[in-house]
Chains A and B, each alone.
Chain A
């Protein structure tokens, strides 16, 4: 069974701090990794995608991927209260030619003013 694991949290950080969200996955064949942000009652929205080992930065967000360790993380610098949401780690099923995603349970982030 292919799995994606996240700590459900809640992760609480003060405003302006760095929030670090972690995710591990079991499918060694996976090549595509995504972080989605989901506000309560809303649909997931894509924050970052990463395909190669190393870091990928986009504004205040940095995704980190280590395929050998089967680990992907998301760092949010200068955290804002508006970043408070559930963050979903998603991994594309490596055996699927249709793009099926396997999601983690999500980590709830609370940024306190």
Chain B
């Protein structure tokens, strides 16, 4: 498709379990970002990965969150040992660069509920 798609749309996980969220981005977009949206803290970048499939844990909080690129246009956000505070909407965004600057395309998000 022409946009960024995320799956699943909704996810319920038991506290302490690991979860994996998927993002299918647009071919040619180099960098994929994972953002977490919560009512209290707004949107914060968790991690991102570039086209050479490097993993980066530079977002916060680090450690339990990592992103992998099993394929060029696919990113998987892995959350280890989920906590109740991880309940949020997780947005994937891919960025591309043009002469006028950076553009971004967002997915519609995965709503994670940790119980």
Q: A interface vs B, CB < 8 Å? A: 6, 32, 34, 42-46, 49, 51, 88, 92, 98-106
The smallest beta-carbon distance between B113 and chain A, in angstroms, is: 14
On whether the beta carbons of A99 and B104 are closer than 8 Å, the reply is yes
Which of A42, A98, A102 has a CB less than 8 Å from the CB of B50? Answer: A98
In angstroms, Cα B41 to Cα A47, docked, is 22
On whether the beta carbons of B50 and A88 are closer than 8 Å, the reply is no
Q: Determine the main DSSP class of B at the interface with A.
A: strand
Which of A43, A45, A88 has a CB less than 8 Å from the CB of B107? Answer: A43
On whether the beta carbons of B106 and A51 are closer than 8 Å, the reply is no
In angstroms, Cα B30 to Cα A51, docked, is 22
On whether the beta carbons of B106 and A92 are closer than 8 Å, the reply is no
In angstroms, Cα B93 to Cα A26, docked, is 23
On whether the beta carbons of B45 and A100 are closer than 8 Å, the reply is yes
On whether the beta carbons of A100 and B33 are closer than 8 Å, the reply is yes
In angstroms, Cα B101 to Cα A101, docked, is 13
Note all chain B residues with C-beta closer than 8 A to A98: 30-31, 48, 50, 95
Note all chain B residues with C-beta closer than 8 A to A106: 42-43
